[in-house]
Structure 1
Amino acid sequence: MVSLLPKLSKVSSISEEDNKKSLVYVLQFINIFDEGIKRKSKFIPMIKARANAYRVYKSLEKEAEGDVLPRIAERKIEWLRNGIDKKDIKKSKISLRDYYIGMLSTVLYTIKHELGIEYELLMSRDDDEIFCKLYVTEYWLKKRADDTDYHLKFRKKKKWDKKFQMASPYGPFSLNKKYSGKGKKIFNCYDEKQRESDEGTFFTYNDKVRLLNDAIYTKLDLYVLKNFDIMIDAFPIHENASLNVLKKKWATLKAIHKAQPLDDIKNYYSESIALYFAWMGVYAIFMGYCAAVGLIVFIILCISSAMGENTIYTGTQVFFCLFLAIWASFFDQFWTREERKLAWKWGTANMTKQVHHREKFEGKFQFDEVTGKMKVLKRDSEKRNLKKSISFAVIGFLIAAVIAIVIAIFRLRVYMKSTNDLKDYGSIVPAIVYAIQISIFDLIYSKVSIWLNNLENHETTNDYNNNLALKLFLFRFINSYCGLFYIAFIKMYLSSDQCTENGCMWDLGLQLSIIFITNMILNIIEIGLPWFLYKFRVQWEERKMKKHMSKAMRKELLSIEIQSKYEPYENPIEDYMEMALQFGFIALFGSSFPLLPILAFIEIILEIRVDAWKLCNITRRPDPVKCENIGIWKNIVVFIAYFGAITNSGIVVFTSGALNHFELPTKIVVFFIIEHLFIFGIATVSYFIPDSSKIVNRGIAWCRRITQKKEFGKLMDDRPSFVRRDSLSSDFSIFLSYYDMTYHEH
């Protein structure tokens, strides 16, 4: 290993245990010493260079108060010194290399001397990149956690033996001398493999990343560093020991029959990613139930059809429609309870909503009188409204284009069925073309929706993700389902495109099965693409690598450099979207093909392990994100469940043939009656099944009480206090309400 900096001396006043360093994060910079940069004749105006420097430090030169820039800027960097004549600044230029060196020097100085984060610089194998490995000590983590009231998990006590005490509380860490000697009795400790133990660190790797990122962003804007082409990227690092455990017990098809290690996933990645896989697990269980019922229904339909029992055949179809409507509601309610349970278990229940300012938010960078800090403020509302109008217009145009293409595909179907030579292929070929069209337009619209969402310039990450999810779902809902609505409810009334002899239910089932099979094939291709890109990047680096570099150095740098070539993991929006659409196929139209849930179940089981494999093998470790729930995706699932009640009512009345002997007005009346009954059934399920169990509610209240006791200085003393109610202050009356709720147990 070739270090570009001397090793840092240890602080003598801190214990050896507190002085233990941990590698937490990696910053990836361009190599400012590269000969290619030296040869570049580019120059940058000094006024722009100075503005960029202040922007990295979240300030403007004219608004800067005190020493915004580190002292090294005044002492060592000519173009950043104070007192330079403004006329000289406007006229002068500096070389690109001097600009890079000045910026990197100030950033590294801030990291080491102002934030107290230790670092080590390593050169890439082909000398075109510098990797900055960031280390923090145990004491630094404790100090940062104390300053920010960071919550850590309490150590479980033996007397916490009631069911509502199975999940340990989380409370703010404190360096107060009164508590410092009791730390290991209060908080969990973790060994080097992130396992709970009697000795070790108080902080998991995710805790360390969050604390380090929080510290860096108080002084520096890493996104601006990337935007100014000074920094390439920043990422947490994979830990081979913990990662290999996940690979063996989770990210492999050999573990397909095993339950997912959700706690391990949460500990290694984050609550956000663990919630996605937990949701997938619950979805797989419910799809398994649906597949079993669908298989029984399919067998009954086959037998009744062979025997000519139309009454049994139609009655079974109606039953399956009703089952799907109620099944979708049960899935939503069960997941809500499971989600609440996991939030309690992982310490995120009722957590304070964190608003993350989006890095790419554009606006005027100026002083915000509300927060008292420099920040990017919103631009003119008229421009924002104009951009939203453009988004609506583009979305409307694309939706109209999709509907036109679907009409053209079904016109092709009519043409083929009316042509003798093509008649035999009149059902299959248009169905395949429609399935391929769905995938192509989904890909196109994904790019367009991201562009539109960026154009709208959302201020927070949460707003950005929610708006992107809604755009994607709106378009894909129409793109995926409009052809199916045509077959189910319109086709039977057109003389030019009549259903087959087996009825519109058969046509609908054929189209659904082809869409599913096509999607499964495309998913296999999608899996291979990230792997191919990763291999291409690694091989490209191998070709560029200098032959004279020692094998020892190659081996030392291999892990970090290879991880830098992995695909970044942004968020699970696309993964959620894919499964939400699949849920829609089943909940809305599954009654037309009872075997469809079996295909869906197989796809879900494979998707869980494939997503896990991608995450563990060809994806960078993402920054850990805490969250309490799956957010807007729950609303989308609820919408599909209720819309499924309407769709299934229509299939029973108009498509199944059960009411063919009635006139259209009568069918419409029956449709509204059945639709109201289905929705009433869903609402009844939601009403009688609470969002969380009694144990979870008590557990959350108990955890809050224990946390409050720590904040009041009564560490780990969970025995009831015999204090008169009228002697308590208003703050302690709240405290007592939790005592009443949790300790009058039998």
Structure 2
Amino acid sequence: MSGHYPHADYLPRHGTVVYVLEFINPFNPNSQPALNKPMKVYNAREYFFRTYRTSEARSEKNIHPSIVEDTCWWLKSFIPDFENNSNISKKEYLITMISSILYTIKYEFNLDYFLLLSKDRKEIFCKVYVTDEWTQNAAIKEGYFLQLKDNKDYIEKFQEVSPYCPAILLLKKKNNEKHFKKYDNNGHESFCNGSLFKHTDKSRLFIEYLNKRVDLHVLKVSEVMVESFCVHEEQLLQELRKIWASFLAVFKPQPLEDVRSYFSEKITLYFAWIDTYWSFMAIAAVVGIITFIGMKVFGPETIEGTSFQITFAVFLAFWGSAFEQYWRRKEKKLAWRWGTTEHSAKESQRPEFKGIYDLDEVTDKMKVLPSPNEHKILKRLVVYFVVGISLVIVILAVSCIFALRFKLNQDPDTINYARFIPAFLNILQIRILNIIYEKIIIKLNYWENHETESKHNDSLALKTFLFKFFNSYTALFYIAFFKETLETREYCVDVANHDISCDNSISDKVLKADPGCTNCLNDLGFQLGVIFIINLAMNVVELGFPWARWKARMFKAANNDLQNTDITLRTSLYPVEYDSKLEVYENPIQDYIEMIIQFGYVCMFGVAAPIIALLALIEITLEIRVDAWKLCNLTKRPDPIRSDSIGVWLNIISVMAYAGAATNAGIIVFTSKVFDKYDIQVSVLMFFVIENVFIGIMFIVSKFISDVPKTVKNGLEWSRKVVNQKLLLKKAFNEEDVGSRVSWRFDSFFIEKKDLRYQF
């Protein structure tokens, strides 16, 4: 067996490209000053051992590739102190680290790869190929679940989803493959030939395998690797762009199964959620249009017009709760259909988690352990103090805006601008404070140092939502419940200072000074209208900024300064190089927040302007395609993460639904003219009665309607029964420690310049 790495002329490669590691090129002639910089040996050793999730003290465990000790003097088991304190060049360190990672892929994982130089020769792209045979063995070892074929005898509704069975069943008999579903190259079920694994399955298994063996974050910190990412499949991506990520497909249903096959469950859950939200908003838009027409025909001050308005308020109170309850059940059904009910993503430490790198006695593996001097409580207090200060700033900003509004109302020359200018300033305040707060809270959330990705994201989501709730709704709450009372009182004080009599009621002078006080719902509706119109416009900006950044990166890559001095440079980018220039898609936190804030506008204040439900529907329709377009055109292909729920967002939606019930009860009692003839005590009593009726009915419905549909419960129980029957005969096997490998004999271990392909 040859000991050399595959050279550029090594053509036979088996399998499918699933992942790319982007390394710094240690042979780049234009980076020699940086590559020749000295690096302490003890630093290089520490980075190496941490890359392989071990330490120098445990090096005798042979967790890292043992061949490294035979070929690299500065990585031998024991070196003298003077050598440990000596220097090596950055280039030597890079060559050793890259060679070691390539050795792991080729000879420990038994996978092929291909090395490709970037256009400017600054990076090396390592394209990793995964075979079906390798994937099957990895699936067996990892306990990966595959879906059984549909059985023609399935007649019950709860049997509409074929069971998911652990891949260990493949060990029983060689022909056991026939029991599982197979897929073609497009990820669609194949009834003839095909693979047991979709592209996302292969990527997921390789990523899990690689992350157990190698700490990619350390490679990035030590500036060995630039990035790692899944590769796009151009044919499938083009199809998604055509049928999903296009404004020409705006009236077509989302191909969620195709999205799931390409982007996996976590991202698909977001689009499934927003699809459900669209359906409920369509219902609200229809009812809102009917209400709007009824109020215009009969007049908002008439009994008939008021009846339409009150009916819409009652509808919104239960509409939000119905959406939350419906999604809870649909989420469970999707998890059942996708096989993620009990097999969601495995939690692991965040790469950025800081602490003490030491041996975990529970797992007997090296990992980052929480520092005893973490001061978590103090950090949490500091963070929430900053959040509290931010909320105070919001209240002060809104107070200044409405103080300006009152002053504009007092001057006949500016009274015509008293609605437009404050409304515009409020939108400006919301946008600017959101941007500033997001930058601050992201840094503070990292400072809190959460150990897992889910804790990090949930914490960020809650703190971001808390601020945006106040920032987005404070002005609306003021208009709905406090404006008439406070501004009338202020006006009375003002005229009293000029010796003009003013009683406690709204006088004719007050009505003339501020006609909006006759019905604060008018002002509330106007403010909502301005918000929605600007939000629609901002969707264009949302698409424009990432697009502009993407164009700038592509222009820079295509017009490199070296192009004018080096005629041997390529003129085009290879597909994998093109993918590397795209942005990283981290998570849909901001997308969720944007839609949930919009949900709050409609759920809590929609009665003031029933037509905004239609505007919201238009915005959601555009949002779906904008988010899809960004995902298919501007971002790298995300890692295929499994998920069975939208997580913390479900609880936030529930809170918003209950808040909507309380707000609509308040608008019916205090803001509309229905209870004007009663004194304040009766109005307060009526508010509590109506609010408790709304919330009570919502609570009772939520308790009596199970979160998990009966079909799903029966289906899962039946699936377990089928799987247990098929696994009666399990074959035990001992998995060899992934780090324990027999060293091969090599003619050459280190990567060489000739191993890199530049031109095809």
Taking structure 1 as the reference length, the TM-score comes to 0.91
Which of 314, 326, 329 lines up with 2:318 in the alignment?
Answer: 326
Corresponding residue for 2:457?
465
Distance in 2 (CA, whole Å) between partners of 1:247 and 1:9 is 32
Is it true that 1:393 corresponds to 2:385 in the alignment? yes
Q: What letter is aligned with 2:62?
A: D
In 2 relative to 1, CA 201–550 (structure 1 residues): closer, same or farther, beyond 3 Å?
A: farther
Give aligned-pair identity as a percent.
41
Q: What letter is aligned with 2:43?
A: K
Corresponding residue for 1:423?
415
Bigger drift between 578-587 and 39-48 goes to: 39-48
Corresponding residue for 1:69?
64
Bigger drift between 487-496 and 264-273 goes to: 487-496
The question of whether the paired residues in 1 share the 8 Å contact of 2:582 and 2:635 is answered with yes
Distance in 2 (CA, whole Å) between partners of 1:709 and 1:248 is 43
Q: What letter is aligned with 1:136?
A: V
Which of 216, 219, 226 lines up with 1:222 in the alignment?
Answer: 216
Residues 220-369 of structure 1: pairs in structure 2 closer than 5 A: 220-305=214-299, 310-351=302-343, 354-369=346-361
Distance in 1 (CA, whole Å) between partners of 2:128 and 2:169 is 23
Q: Note the alpha carbon deviations across 1:502-541, whole angstroms, 9 max, x for none.
A: 5100001111111111122122111111111111111101
Corresponding residue for 1:44?
39
Bigger drift between 350-359 and 116-125 goes to: 350-359
Is it true that 1:167 corresponds to 2:164 in the alignment? no
Corresponding residue for 1:560?
576
Residues 413-452 of structure 1: pairs in structure 2 closer than 5 A: 413-452=405-444
Is it true that 1:130 corresponds to 2:149 in the alignment? no
Bigger drift between 598-607 and 699-708 goes to: 699-708
Corresponding residue for 2:747?
none
Cα displacement (A) at 1:254: 1.5
Is it true that 1:698 corresponds to 2:692 in the alignment? no
Distance in 2 (CA, whole Å) between partners of 1:322 and 1:180 is 62
The question of whether the paired residues in 1 share the 8 Å contact of 2:266 and 2:641 is answered with yes
Corresponding residue for 1:98?
92
Which consecutive unaligned segments of at least 5 residues does structure 1 have?
11-19, 716-746
Q: What letter is aligned with 1:321?
A: A
Which of 604, 607, 625 lines up with 1:588 in the alignment?
Answer: 604
Which of 10, 24, 27 lines up with 1:7 in the alignment?
Answer: 10
Residues 400-549 of structure 1: pairs in structure 2 closer than 5 A: 400-494=392-486, 495=488, 496=490, 500=516, 502-544=518-560, 546=563
Distance in 2 (CA, whole Å) between partners of 1:129 and 1:439 is 38
Cα displacement (A) at 1:499: 6.1
Which of 184, 200, 205 lines up with 1:191 in the alignment?
Answer: 184
Corresponding residue for 2:503?
none
Cα displacement (A) at 1:554: 5.4
Cα displacement (A) at 1:381: 5.5
Corresponding residue for 1:87?
82
The question of whether the paired residues in 2 share the 8 Å contact of 1:366 and 1:377 is answered with yes
Q: What letter is aligned with 2:711?
A: I
3-state SS of paired residue (2:540): helix
Is it true that 1:643 corresponds to 2:646 in the alignment? no
Corresponding residue for 2:498?
none
Residues 98-117 of structure 1: pairs in structure 2 closer than 5 A: 98-117=92-111
The question of whether the paired residues in 1 share the 8 Å contact of 2:484 and 2:517 is answered with no
Distance in 1 (CA, whole Å) between partners of 2:6 and 2:138 is 27
Q: Note the alpha carbon deviations across 1:96-121, whole angstroms, 9 max, x for none.
A: 11111111111111221122222111
In 2 relative to 1, CA 85–381 (structure 1 residues): closer, same or farther, beyond 3 Å?
A: closer
Cα displacement (A) at 1:64: 3.2
Corresponding residue for 2:755?
none
Distance in 2 (CA, whole Å) between partners of 1:254 and 1:299 is 30
3-state SS of paired residue (2:436): helix
RMSD: 2.0
Distance in 2 (CA, whole Å) between partners of 1:89 and 1:664 is 81
The question of whether the paired residues in 1 share the 8 Å contact of 2:22 and 2:126 is answered with yes
Distance in 1 (CA, whole Å) between partners of 2:54 and 2:226 is 22
Q: Note the alpha carbon deviations across 1:130-169, whole angstroms, 9 max, x for none.
A: 1000012221111111111111111112222332222111
Distance in 2 (CA, whole Å) between partners of 1:132 and 1:549 is 25
Cα displacement (A) at 1:352: 5.8
Corresponding residue for 2:738?
none
Q: What letter is aligned with 1:489?
A: F
3-state SS of paired residue (1:132): strand
Which consecutive unaligned segments of at least 5 residues does structure 2 have?
492-513, 732-760
Which of 150, 160, 175 lines up with 2:144 in the alignment?
Answer: 150
Cα displacement (A) at 1:39: 2.5
3-state SS of paired residue (1:366): strand
Q: Note the alpha carbon deviations across 1:287-327, whole angstroms, 9 max, x for none.
A: 00000001111111112218xx6222222222111110111
In 2 relative to 1, CA 360–714 (structure 1 residues): closer, same or farther, beyond 3 Å?
A: closer
Bigger drift between 409-418 and 456-465 goes to: 409-418
The question of whether the paired residues in 1 share the 8 Å contact of 2:291 and 2:312 is answered with yes
Cα displacement (A) at 1:688: 4.0
Distance in 1 (CA, whole Å) between partners of 2:345 and 2:375 is 29
Q: Note the alpha carbon deviations across 1:23-53, whole angstroms, 9 max, x for none.
A: 1100111111112332234211111111111
The question of whether the paired residues in 2 share the 8 Å contact of 1:187 and 1:202 is answered with yes
Corresponding residue for 2:650?
634
The question of whether the paired residues in 1 share the 8 Å contact of 2:328 and 2:707 is answered with yes
Distance in 2 (CA, whole Å) between partners of 1:279 and 1:546 is 47
Corresponding residue for 2:591?
575
Q: What letter is aligned with 2:46?
A: A
In 2 relative to 1, CA 352–30 (structure 1 residues): closer, same or farther, beyond 3 Å?
A: closer
In 2 relative to 1, CA 370–6 (structure 1 residues): closer, same or farther, beyond 3 Å?
A: farther
3-state SS of paired residue (2:708): coil
Residues 594-743 of structure 1: pairs in structure 2 closer than 5 A: 594-713=610-729
The question of whether the paired residues in 2 share the 8 Å contact of 1:72 and 1:109 is answered with no
Distance in 2 (CA, whole Å) between partners of 1:579 and 1:690 is 26
Taking structure 2 as the reference length, the TM-score comes to 0.89
Cα displacement (A) at 1:209: 0.8
